[in-house]
Copies of this chain bind each other. A is one copy, B any other.
């Protein structure tokens, strides 16, 4: 494991937890389930598998100071800063050339900053197994056992068995499907052959780079040119000049979906992407009436209320009262109040899109 590195993608400004998540306070900065924010959890759950100086972060200019403040134990130079967001293909590539510069034999685990993992020991075990498999020449994805026929996740189909790796069964990845329709999702889940794509990948650096070279030659050339200036005076200028030329593609689309030697290790570790208020509610559970409150402690009084989630982000002293509600989500922030049926929490995106269209920067 001497060459194992973590690369935490922390550049997103996820809008599905709006109005709690905002452009200036992205989802990974929220403390929803644990008493630390999701980014801190993403860093801390690596200990003791991956040392701090092997832990890299890729993020945007607008978030880097918040993130450094959240994880002051990390070397400041391990935060790789994108000039601006160009999707995850360029972001992973940029950080990868930095890690390659440090250690040309590195094995990199690309991880997410804004997810919840209940069983952290299992997470480290599966990372170690994935690193072993990556050393044998595979690009390994962590697959999540589906708990319902979600139309919001990507799915990975298992191919032939690659046998047991440490405590886990590994398989060739036989195909990726992005966000299927409801019927397809149901078929996937009942077949037992599919895992959700967690967005976490483990690979040897030279293998990733050869995939960039084969599948994304433009991106690869730019990355090589930026990489050649690391540690030199012209790094910032080169990065700034070339970044605009980066094709705006996700890492899945740019590289992973058509890479050679893709493997999947299915794992059950209490994973959740907390991708909507309904998902958060599932994770939090409720009291004897199915009600939950999340956020700074506020007085909450309810009468005949069931399966209702109250999320607060307001100064102490505010009181929240609900009467006769069922399956409602209330998100109370200083400048936005959202009241939403539990079944409709995905539609928060529509509101965010409207605000973007209207240029309502204050509420985004």
> Which residues on the B side are within 8 Å of A299 (C-beta)?
363
> Which residues on the B side are within 8 Å of A19 (C-beta)?
319, 321
> Which residues on the B side are within 8 Å of A354 (C-beta)?
301
Q: Mark A310-332, 1 if CB is under 8 A from B, else 0.
A: 00000001111111110010101
Beta-carbon nearest neighbor of A329 in chain B: B323
A169 within 8 A of B: no
A317:B337 contact, CB within 8 angstroms:
no
> Which residues on the B side are within 8 Å of A301 (C-beta)?
351, 354
Beta-carbon nearest neighbor of A315 in chain B: B335
A218 within 8 A of B: no
**Which residues of chain A from 1 to 53 have a CB within 8 Å of any chain B CB?**
19
> Which residues on the B side are within 8 Å of A336 (C-beta)?
318-321
> Which residues on the B side are within 8 Å of A317 (C-beta)?
335, 362
Contact of A319 among B325, B340, B341, B363 (CB under 8 A): B363
A363 to B340, CA, bound (A): 25
Beta-carbon nearest neighbor of A334 in chain B: B318
A284 within 8 A of B: no
Number of chain A residues whose Cβ lies closer than 8 Å to a Cβ of chain B: 34
Beta-carbon nearest neighbor of A335 in chain B: B318
Please, could you name 30 A-B residue pairs with CB atoms under 8 Å apart, sorted by A? A19-B321, A301-B351, A303-B344, A303-B350, A317-B362, A318-B336, A319-B336, A319-B337, A319-B363, A320-B336, A320-B339, A321-B339, A321-B340, A321-B351, A322-B338, A322-B339, A322-B340, A323-B338, A323-B341, A323-B347, A323-B351, A324-B343, A324-B344, A325-B328, A325-B339, A325-B340, A325-B341, A330-B337, A330-B339, A332-B337
A74 to B233, CA, bound (A): 80
Expressed in whole angstroms, the minimum distance between the Cβ of A88 and any Cβ of chain B is 29
A167 within 8 A of B: no
> Which residues on the B side are within 8 Å of A362 (C-beta)?
317
> Which residues on the B side are within 8 Å of A339 (C-beta)?
320-323, 325, 328, 330, 339
Beta-carbon nearest neighbor of A341 in chain B: B324
A348 within 8 A of B: yes
A304 within 8 A of B: yes
A189 to B87, CA, bound (A): 67
> Which residues on the B side are within 8 Å of A363 (C-beta)?
299, 319
> Which residues on the B side are within 8 Å of A343 (C-beta)?
324
A323 to B337, CA, bound (A): 11
A318:B303 contact, CB within 8 angstroms:
no
Expressed in whole angstroms, the minimum distance between the Cβ of A279 and any Cβ of chain B is 16
Expressed in whole angstroms, the minimum distance between the Cβ of A141 and any Cβ of chain B is 34
B320:A337 contact, CB within 8 angstroms:
yes
A340 to B321, CA, bound (A): 8
